Homo-oligomer: A and B are copies of this chain.
């Protein structure tokens, strides 16, 4: 049987992580997300809290720090990127799996035949979802989403030098708000079979 590596990129609040977990269950393969963070902690020696904050978002000072700090060598974020990259390469070499986020599509592009998915949803549907999942905050949900989108796009752009969310970079992009998470999982399971049958 072919090894199947599915990478899922997603907008914050689109339910992409849930899609990834349910898809992995359906395919009977592991899903790497929290687990990945924990492995990262062990390898990098950085605190778990720091990693959660830094691992996928360009933080507040990220853009300003970008030029100056590298003259002094690698930033903590660069060290984390490398640790993360190595773990993703290791996991993907070993077995079939779903990897959510963390630029895995880019990291594995010349190494493995991955099936690359992008999950998004309208601002309205995502706002509903994050209020349900994470509760109300001081800033509006739309403000939180815009901020997260901007950071995620900046992080992706910086480390991959390609644009996040461009349809051509994925085998499939789905609007989980319009189609429903459960249905997206069913579609994807079917598509994964078809994709690996054809290669």
Q: Which of A151-190 contact B (CB under 8 A)?
A: 165-168, 170-175, 178-180, 183, 187, 190
A172-B175, A175-B172 known; A167 vs B198 contact (CB < 8 Å): no
Partner of A198, one of B168, B170, B173, B180: B180
Partner of A179, one of B11, B118, B194: B194
Convert A120-145 into 0s and 1s, putting 1 for each residue whose CB lies closer than 8 angstroms to a CB of B: 10000000000000000000000000
Q: Decide if A38 is an interface residue (CB 8 Å cutoff).
A: no
Task: With CB as the reference atom, state the residue of chain B lying closest to A163.
Answer: B166
Whether A175 lies near B170 (C-beta < 8 A) is: yes
Neighbouring B residues of A170 by C-beta, 8 Å:
167, 173, 175
> Which applies to chain A's interface (DSSP): helix, strand, loop or mixed?
mixed
Shortest CB distance A5–B (Å): 14
A86→B165 CA distance, assembly (Å): 31
Partner of A165, one of B167, B178, B194: B167
Neighbouring B residues of A63 by C-beta, 8 Å:
none
Neighbouring B residues of A168 by C-beta, 8 Å:
11, 120, 165, 175
Neighbouring B residues of A174 by C-beta, 8 Å:
171-172
Q: Which residue numbers of A lie inside 8 Å of B, CB to CB?
A: 11, 118, 120, 165-168, 170-175, 178-180, 183, 187, 190-191, 194-195, 198
